[in-house]
Chains A and B, each alone.
Chain A
Amino acid sequence: MSEGFEPKIVAFACNWCAYSAADLAGVSRFQYPPNMRIIRVMCSGRINPNFILKAFDSGADGVLVAG
């Protein structure tokens, strides 16, 4: 892996748990790298495998499904 590689990560976060956990991380000022883009969904059960494939197809280096 070349130096300076910055992965692009798409996260699908459940509104009721993971998304609010990400909010709480903010309230607590936890610092993490700015490589992730969070997409809010109403449930991790909403995640169609297509969404994950689409993310990779669009250029994601990693996909996080959190719920």
Chain B
Amino acid sequence: MEKCIACGSCAEKCPKKVDDPFNENLAKRKAIYVDYAQAVPLKYAINKDECIYFQKGKCRACEKLCPTKAINFEDKEEKVVLQAGAVILAAGFKPFDPSIFPTYQYTSFENVVTSIEYERILSATGPYQGHLARPSDHDKENKKEPRKIGWLQCVGSRDINKCDHPYCSSVCCMYAIKEATISKEHADYDLDTAIFFMDMRTYGKDFEKYYERAKEKGVRFVRTRLHTLEEDPVTKDITVRYVDEQGNIQVETFDMMVLSVGMETPKELVETAKNLGVAVDSDNFAETGIFTPVETSRKGIYVCGAFQEPKDIPYSVMEASAAACGAKEGLSSARGTLVKERTYPEETDVSFQEPKIGVFVCNCGINIGSVVDVPAVVEYARTLPGVSYVEEGLFVCSQDTQEKMKELIKKEGLNRVIVAACTPRTHEPLFQETLRDAGLNKYLFEMANIRNQCSWVHTKEKPEATEKAKDLVRMAAARAQLIQPLPQPTIGVDTKALVIGGGVSGMTAALGLAEQGFHTYLIEQSNRLGGNALMLSKTWRGDDIQAHLAEMISKVSAHSLIDVYTEATIKGATGFVGNYETTVSRNNEDTTLKHGAVIVAVGAEEFKPKEYLYGEDNRVMTHLELDEAMKKGEISGIKTAVFIQCVGSREPERPYCSKVCCTHTVKSALKLKEMDPEAKVYVIYRDIRTYGQREELYKEARDRGVIFIRYSLDGKPRVEKAGSAISVTIKDHILFRDIAINPDLVVLAAGIIPRDNNSLAQMFKLSLNEDGFFMEAHAKLRPVEFATDGIFLAGMAHYPKPIEESIAQAKAAASRASVVLSKETLTVEGVVSHVNEVLCRGCGKCVEACPFNAINLMEREDGRIVANVQEAMCKGCGSCSVACPTGAASIFHYDDQEVLTMVEAAFN
């Protein structure tokens, strides 16, 4: 495996074509293959069951062609025993197989595809190269571009009739909207897209806006359940009959029908869990608790992602970090004990030397050499100014070449090295290590990409590819004359953390850090810890929140590494990753705390409704008020109750879903039914969003006789006083008639609104989204980090979410923060910005341009205002140098002269 350079020659020549499972068997691959182009590690493998040699004893074509002799037919399966202190299960899910539904005919109707197949169809690296085409005729001459595509939701989810999956798969509504939207963007004609759904569950951050935008773009949303798909035997079109919301029968014909398949745990994973002694629930997901969302039933084994419960990418990423936090808490005493530190010889000072460039041109086996005339490039390189040594290599990245390169650097006195080979994105670090081992600064290195961006993409144009390779080497050599050694200073890290907010998220984050051994300051503005959870009674799984909360508070208060500051506010903050100073004000007294990382967990609050008689009649209350009244035993003798959903949510002025209210309502409705099974309980809703396994609670509520009545924004319920009684009027969505209810309790599912986060955002230079919630660095992949290094985000300050998700995110934030805090020093990269103070006039353009808040203005001793770069925060993007009107700001390693020289050299 070490020898494979992923050149692909083997797969090119392999005579055996087989179905490609990565492309959902819609395309072919060879018996020797990589799963997909971005696979890590990028190494080819042989499928024994498909390989002609293994099956028939003859062939071995790949072995003959492999330039690095990487093919090993004798390779055997190995059993490896690993010693580990913790285990994390992140084994994911299997898309539901819809073959079992006779009425959808997935296996026989060619143009009925699963959503995963459709993802591949849309992908540029997919079976049809990203062209919108139908499986039935994509390879035919008279192929039909699909003009009309339908999506059928909840296939294998929310279904106990055929497939025993009572849960909602949580992600299908969003991906169906995404696929429909992308398809419309993709088609250069008016593509008709329709999504057939039961409840539209766009409950995540910014999801509701995405749904609204899709409607604006013309994606049709049809609330119905398709029972049967029919195929035209000639055209292979799919016809459906359904009843629309008005009760009329509709018949539509589609070119393609996509089945939005849900998630399920693969059987083998259930078996693995059993072998590990990890309990799974009735839906085959790992059993976890609301307050321990990533801990399995077995101590030391953690779970994250869809094996815990169906979930999307951001929450899988959060749980992954949370599981890491759990593992690190248990292993903190062993942290760093297996780390071996590497040493390098002292760097030779070459700053006053004339450039002596060594050029190594790689053949990469035949990957470059078969297209580019490598000897000609070598000869050409010898003629370039500054170049004093040139060598050709079969594989310049091989270990023996590294040794040789080190010797040559010393022997020939080289002070710049160029490797003309593959891409710096994969190989620059390797060669930079070689330079460091030879006593050269790692920035004295340059690459010319003559494989990925030359020989591989111009295979038929050999002379032109050779010319291009020469040009690329010339450009590299021109730049190499200018590059300079750069320092990589280290800065100290303060290993303490600051957590802002003393609710469930803040306390979880503080405990996560303290359990890992990091001293933590926990700041709470009110006079007690607990936050919103103080007002809640039970979780949707029935746990007593107050008991858990009390335990958490006592743990935090007693922890020797947590300093709690109640009735405290943040007055100001300065510093950067590893070195923050924050001023905390308490009892009119200011304290300055020094710390290396910050976790923002300031929470959010319940919206105070302005409609439905709220505040005018004490029988009308919000969820938190109901919970509080229930805790005090004030709710009794309720005969008729009405819950109204989306109060203050999903409205034009607050266009987001508050995520927790549907489940809260269903749970409270069940509680009322439990208190009096004869009580009439009505839920007036728009979509019931009991995602994941919360769906089972929704089903239970219907079973127990809770009546669900749907409304739309243009037909909101009316709540009025009728004498001493309350009257709720709503148009029933089945009868199309107004019905009036006289409840003795009206519960408003009031949305969740952000706190006033502006001043905190300004102090720490953080961004807020349009709705006022804090904005993470990346919605999918960095959900607990801010764009500014060393600051992390958790809980409802990010977006409304239930306790289990707040805890997972808080543990994730603690985990990410510990990455900073566990280092004694931070190494600053050499490619950073710097400001020439003589030229700087302190206009602040660079401060505005910097996306990482790495630049601020400071007053010099002589009183002049100049820009100051905090190198530890600089990512070297160079935006400042473009914004700077005087040329004071520039970027090491990519300064104007270096780039302009390359531009010029491109044409010589």
- Residues of A with Cβ closer than 8 Å to B? 8, 10, 15, 19-20, 22-34, 37-43, 45-48, 50-51, 54-55, 58-60
Chain B residue numbers with a CB within 8 Å of A25 are 452-453, 457
Q: List 18 A-B contacts (CB under 8 A).
A: A10-B903, A19-B425, A23-B425, A24-B38, A27-B37, A27-B38, A27-B452, A32-B457, A34-B458, A34-B464, A34-B467, A37-B471, A42-B894, A43-B879, A45-B882, A55-B906, A60-B906, A60-B907
Q: What's the nearest-Cβ distance from chain B to residue A11, in Å?
A: 10
Cβ-defined contact, B457 with A29, below 8 A: yes
**Are B458 and A46 interface neighbours, CB within 8 A?**
no
Q: Which listed residue (B423, B458, B849, B903) contacts A39, Cβ 8 A?
A: B903
Closest chain A CB from B457 CB (angstroms): 5
Q: List chain A residues, Cβ under 8 A from B878.
A: 41-43, 45-46
Is B461 part of the binding interface, using a Cβ–Cβ cutoff of 8 Å? yes
Nearest CB of chain A from residue B421's CB, rounded to whole Å: 12
Collect the chain B residues with CB atoms within 8 Å of residue A30's CB: 457
Interfacial chain B residues near A46, Cβ < 8 Å: 877-879, 881-882, 891, 894, 899
User: Most chain-A Cβ atoms within 10 A of its Cβ — which of B38, B125, B453, B899?
Assistant: B453
Answer yes or no: B634 CB below 8 A from chain A CBs.
no
Q: Are B453 and A54 in contact (CB under 8 A)?
A: no
Residues of B within 8 A of A55 (CB): 903, 906
A47 → chain B closest CB, angstroms: 7
The total number of A-B Cβ pairs within 8 Å is: 121
Q: Is the C-beta of B475 less than 8 angstroms from some C-beta in chain A?
A: yes
**A26→B471 CA distance, assembly (Å):** 18
A40 to B878, CA, bound (A): 13
When chains A and B are docked, how far (Å) is the Cα of A39 from the Cα of B898? Answer: 11
List, in ascending order, chain A residues with CB within 8 A of B125's CB. 28
> What CA separation (Å) do A32 and B459 show in the bound complex?
10
B472 interface hit (Cβ, 8 Å) = yes
B881: chain A residues within 8 A (beta carbon)? 46, 48
Question: Does B90 belong to the interface (CB within 8 Å)?
Answer: no
User: Which chain A residues border B891 with CB–CB below 8 Å?
Assistant: 42, 46
Question: Per-residue CB proximity of B874-901 to A under 8 Å, as 1/0?
Answer: 0111110110000000010010100110
* A-B contacts besides A27-B452, A48-B896, 7 pairs, CB < 8 Å: A26-B452, A37-B906, A38-B453, A39-B899, A41-B899, A42-B878, A48-B882
Partner of A23, one of B423, B459, B465, B904: B423
Determine if B468 and A34 form an interchain contact, defined as CB atoms under 8 angstroms apart: yes
Shortest distance from the beta carbon of B637 to any chain A beta carbon, whole Å: 63
Distance in Å: Cβ of B431 to nearest Cβ of chain A: 15
Do B904 and A58 touch (CB < 8 A)?
A: yes
Residues of B within 8 A of A28 (CB): 37, 125
Q: Which residues of B contact A26 (CB under 8 A)?
A: 423, 451-453, 456-457
A residues within 8 A CB of B468? 34, 37
Which residue of chain B is the closest to A24 with respect to CB atoms?
A: B37
The count of chain B contact residues (Cβ–Cβ below 8 Å) is 48
Please, which residues of chain B bring their CB within 8 A of the CB of A60?
906-907
Chain A residue with minimal CB distance to B466? A34
A43 neighbours in B (Cβ, 8 Å)? 875-879
Are A29 and B882 closer than 8 Å at their CB atoms? no
Nearest B-chain residue to A46, judged by Cβ: B878
Asked whether B894 lies within 8 Å of A29 as measured between CB atoms, the reply is no
> Which residues of the partner chain A approach B425 to less than 8 Å between Cβ atoms?
15, 19-20, 23
Measured between alpha carbons, how far is A61 from B899 in the docked complex, in Å? 18
Please report the C-alpha to C-alpha distance between residue A58 and residue B454 in the assembled complex, in whole angstroms. Answer: 22
Please name all residues of chain B whose beta carbon is closer than 8 Å to the beta carbon of A45 when the two chains form the complex. 849, 851, 877-879, 882
A27 to B364, CA, bound (A): 13
A-facing residues in B814-853 (Cβ within 8 Å): 831, 849, 851
Judging by beta carbons under 8 Å apart, are B459 and A31 in contact? yes
B456, B467, B875, most chain A CB atoms within 10 A: B456
B449 at the interface (CB under 8 A from A): yes
Q: Are A10 and B906 in contact (CB under 8 A)?
A: yes
Query: A45: shortest Cβ distance to chain B, in Å?
Result: 4
CB distance from B899 to the nearest CB of A (A): 6
Contact status B896-A50, CB under 8 Å:
yes
When distances are taken between beta carbons in the complex, the residues of chain B under 8 Å from A47 are: 882
Across the interface, which residues of B come within 8 angstroms of A50, CB to CB?
Answer: 896, 900
Contacting pair A54 B900 (CB below 8 A): yes
- Are B882 and A54 closer than 8 Å at their CB atoms? no
B709 is an interface residue with CB less than 8 A from chain A: no
Q: Are A34 and B900 in contact (CB under 8 A)?
A: no
Q: List residues of chain A with CB within 8 A of the CB of B467.
A: 34
Partner of A22, one of B452, B459, B460: B452
Assembled-state Cα–Cα distance A42/B894 (Å): 8
Note all chain A residues with C-beta closer than 8 A to B609: none
How far, in angstroms, from A47 to B900 measured CA to CA in the complex?
11
Q: Are A23 and B907 in contact (CB under 8 A)?
A: no
How far apart are the CA atoms of A8 and B906 in the complex, in Å?
A: 9
- Bound state CA distance, A59 and B896, in angstroms? 19
Name which residue of chain A comes closest to B459, CB basis: A31
Task: For A22, give the chain B residue with the smallest CB separation.
Answer: B453
CB distance from A9 to the nearest CB of B (A): 10
List the B side residues contacting A15 at CB < 8 Å: 425
Chain B 845-875 interface residues, beta-carbon cutoff 8 Å to A:
849, 851, 875
B146 contacts the other chain (CB 8 A): no
CB of B545 closer than 8 Å to a CB of A = no
Q: Which residue of B lies closest to A8 (CB)?
A: B907
Contacting residues, chain B, for A20 (C-beta < 8 A): 423, 425
Cβ contacts under 8 Å, A54 to chain B: 900, 903-904
C-alpha spacing A46/B895, complex, angstroms: 9
A54 to chain B, nearest CB (A): 5
Closest chain-B Cβ to A51's Cβ sits at a distance in Å of 6
Per-residue 0/1 for B437-477: is the Cβ within 8 Å of any A Cβ (1 yes, 0 no)?
00000000000010111101111110011011001100100
Q: Closest approach, in angstroms, between the C-beta of A16 and any C-beta of chain B? A: 9
| B369 contacts A by Cβ under 8 Å | no
Question: Which of B449, B459, B879 is within 8 Å of A29, CB to CB?
Answer: B459
Decide yes or no whether B218 CB sits under 8 A from chain A: no
Instruction: Using A23-B449, A43-B879, A46-B879 as known contacts, say yes or no to A59 and B37 having CB atoms under 8 A apart.
Output: no
A8–B904 Cα distance when bound, in Å, is 12
Q: Are B894 and A38 in contact (CB under 8 A)?
A: no
Q: Which residues of A contact B461 (CB under 8 A)?
A: 33-34
- Smallest Cβ distance from B493 to chain A, in angstroms? 25
Residues of A within 8 A of B456 (CB): 26-27, 29
Contact with A along B642-660 (1 / 0, CB 8 A): 0000000000000000000
Contacts of B15 in A (CB 8 A): none
| Given contact pairs A28-B125, A34-B461, A40 touches B424 in the complex (Cβ within 8 A) | yes
Do residues B907 and A51 form an inter-chain contact, with CB atoms below 8 A? no
Which 9 A-B pairs have CB atoms at the shortest separation, nearest pair first? A26-B452, A46-B878, A43-B877, A45-B879, A26-B456, A34-B464, A23-B452, A37-B906, A34-B458
B458 to chain A: closest residue by CB: A34
Q: Does B386 contact A (CB under 8 A)?
A: no
B27 within 8 A of A: no
Whether A51 lies near B900 (C-beta < 8 A) is: yes
Are B457 and A39 in contact (CB-based, < 8 A)?
Answer: no
Q: With both chains docked as a complex, state the minimum distance between the C-beta of B29 and any C-beta of chain A, in angstroms.
A: 13
**How far apart are B446's CB and chain A's nearest CB, in angstroms?**
10
A59 touches B452 (CB 8 A): no
Alpha-carbon distance between A52 and B823 when the two chains are bound, in angstroms: 42
CA distance A51 to B894 in the complex (A): 12
Cβ contacts under 8 Å, B465 to chain A: 34
Contact residues in A for B475 (Cβ distance below 8 Å): 37, 39
